[in-house]
Amino acid sequence: MDPLTRLQILSTDSQYDLACACGSGNHEHRKRTRDGSRWLYPVPLAAGGRSLMFKTLLSNCCVNDCKYCPLRGDANAERCSLTPEEAVRLFLRHHERQWLLGLFLSSGVCGSPDRTMDHLIAAAEILRRKHRYRGYIHLKIIPGASEAAMEEALRYSSAVSLNIEVPGRRHFQQLSDRKDFDRDIVAPLRYLARQTAPEGPFSRVRCTTQFIVGASDETDREIIRYMDGIYNRLRFERIYFSAYQPGLGAGSIPGERDFTLAPEDRLTREHRLYQVDWLLRRYRFTPDEMEFGEDGNLSLAADPKQIWAARHPEFFPVNANQAAPEALLRVPGLGPVAVDRILQARQIHRLTSLDGIRIAAAYRRKAAAYLTY
């Protein structure tokens, strides 16, 4: 196959890794290019707005046996690879036609983790050294990679990611016989955390990770407990979630064997976890404040912030003119942007309602039941 045909296959297969884009809203879905390929992903920018990321695998060949993955070693997939030089040429060709935020490179495991890392690092090194590229490069860290390989990846990257996959060893053992949770996942995650800490040698590099939700029989409570450690101990920047959809993996895993949720409910579960992620990162909630059912899972019927408000009527109403930002963030319908606008408006005049403050009408109506003036 010619390089462009291989890229079309590999960029399509890269959809299973969400660690550079959330993918939880229509505006965050990947976009087709004019020639019909699908490898551009929207990414939020720190200063606002969005840009596009060129995303692909270097290879979809893999020696691992991750039972949730349609590219696992014994799966029936159309296999192909790009050389580092080919990947760089294709990226630069597209970059010349349309400005891109940068490049996201991942790969199946070809031979060994370090051999695969060599190929990923080589592509980044060619871009940085030969082509003097100063833009964004996100490299996937292959589970089981050596510290030396991770250090080289950090040297050329703007961001790196290593998927934690599941919350704990028991669940991991249900999904892979070849990989070891402590050796191949936990130890590298801790190494990346040390290297990218504020006092570390690569403090400029962002770190993210991802859970595969529903391939094992984990509960939301278990995932959120691990989220707390990833954010507050490892200090990673983002956590992503990918809902496992039956039919992609092996029939022996819980996600296939004990399938109870409809596909749309699995996506709702993923969405609820993203909502909790926002509550922890932006709304100043703690994991202990999340409400779970008897099965240890979040409600699929209502968002976790709304449920918290219903369980704590003593907290409301909140005075819009006097309340601290932390209290306003607890009000259903109000997010960080809306709270900032309320704080700015009340410095100018006393509020009697949210009318006149640039907040969507549906959110104003939701918040009205929880506010006083």
Where is the domain boundary, 250, 275, 298? 250
- Look at residue 47 and tell me whether its pLDDT is greater than 50: no
Judgement on whether residues 63 and 188 belong to the same structural domain of the protein: yes
Judgement on whether residues 35 and 156 belong to the same structural domain of the protein: yes
Judgement on whether residues 27 and 147 belong to the same structural domain of the protein: yes
Where is the domain boundary, 250, 274, 296? 250
Give the whole-angstrom CA distance, residue 370 versus residue 373: 11
Q: What is the DSSP string of 312-336?
A: -GGG--EETTT--HHHHTTSTT--H
State the pLDDT at residue 8: 85
| Cα–chain center distance at 34 | 27
Judgement on whether residues 246 and 321 belong to the same structural domain of the protein: no
Mean pLDDT of 318-345: 96
Judge whether 279 and 304 are in contact, CB under 8 Å: yes
The pLDDT tens digits of the residues spanning 11-42 come to: 888 877 655 444 444 444 444 455 544 455 55
Judge whether 212 and 256 are in contact, CB under 8 Å: no
Buried-exposed string 289-310: b where 16+ CB fall within 10 A, e elsewhere: bbeeeeeebbeeeebbbebbbe
State the pLDDT at residue 41: 54
Judgement on whether residues 93 and 203 belong to the same structural domain of the protein: yes
At 46, the pLDDT band (50, 70, 90 cuts) reads very low
Cβ-based neighbours of 10, under 8 Å, separated by 6 or more: 56, 57, 58, 59, 60, 80, 81, 82
Any idea what the CATH number is for the domain that residue 110 is in? 3.20.20.70
State the pLDDT at residue 34: 52
In a domain, 277, yes or no: no
Where is the domain boundary, 250, 265, 288? 250
In a domain, 345, yes or no: yes
Among 124-128, 130-134, 181-185, 253-257, name the one with the lowest average pLDDT: 253-257
Give the whole-angstrom CA distance, residue 116 versus residue 16: 18
Judgement on whether residues 317 and 237 belong to the same structural domain of the protein: no
Buried-exposed string 338-351: b where 16+ CB fall within 10 A, e elsewhere: bbeebeebbeeeeb
Range of the domain at 217: 3-250
Judgement on whether residues 198 and 326 belong to the same structural domain of the protein: no
In a domain, 230, yes or no: yes
In a domain, 109, yes or no: yes
Judgement on whether residues 79 and 213 belong to the same structural domain of the protein: yes
Judge whether 21 and 210 are in contact, CB under 8 Å: no
| Cα–chain center distance at 243 | 11
In a domain, 118, yes or no: yes
Q: Is 361 helix (H, G, I), strand (E, B) or coil?
A: helix
State the pLDDT at residue 217: 96
In a domain, 11, yes or no: yes
Domain tally for the chain?
A: 2
Question: What average pLDDT does the structure give for the chain?
Answer: 90
Judgement on whether residues 170 and 33 belong to the same structural domain of the protein: yes
The pLDDT tens digits of the residues spanning 144-181 come to: 999 999 999 999 999 999 999 999 999 999 999 999 99
Closest CA to 162 of 184, 182, 177: 184
Query: Can the peptide bond before residue 246 be classed as cis, meaning omega within 30 degrees of 0?
Result: no
Any idea what the CATH number is for the domain that residue 368 is in? 1.10.150
- Look at residue 291 and tell me whether its pLDDT is greater than 70: yes
The pLDDT tens digits of the residues spanning 302-317 come to: 999 999 999 999 999 9
Side chain identity at 352, as an amino acid letter? Answer: T
State the pLDDT at residue 165: 96
In a domain, 217, yes or no: yes
Q: What is the pTM assigned to this prediction?
A: 0.89
SS (H, E, C) 237-275: CEEEEEECCCCCCCCCCHHHHCCCCCHHHHHHHHHHHHH
Cβ-based neighbours of 353, under 8 Å, separated by 6 or more: 368, 373
CA angle 155, 150, 94 (to 5 degrees): 60
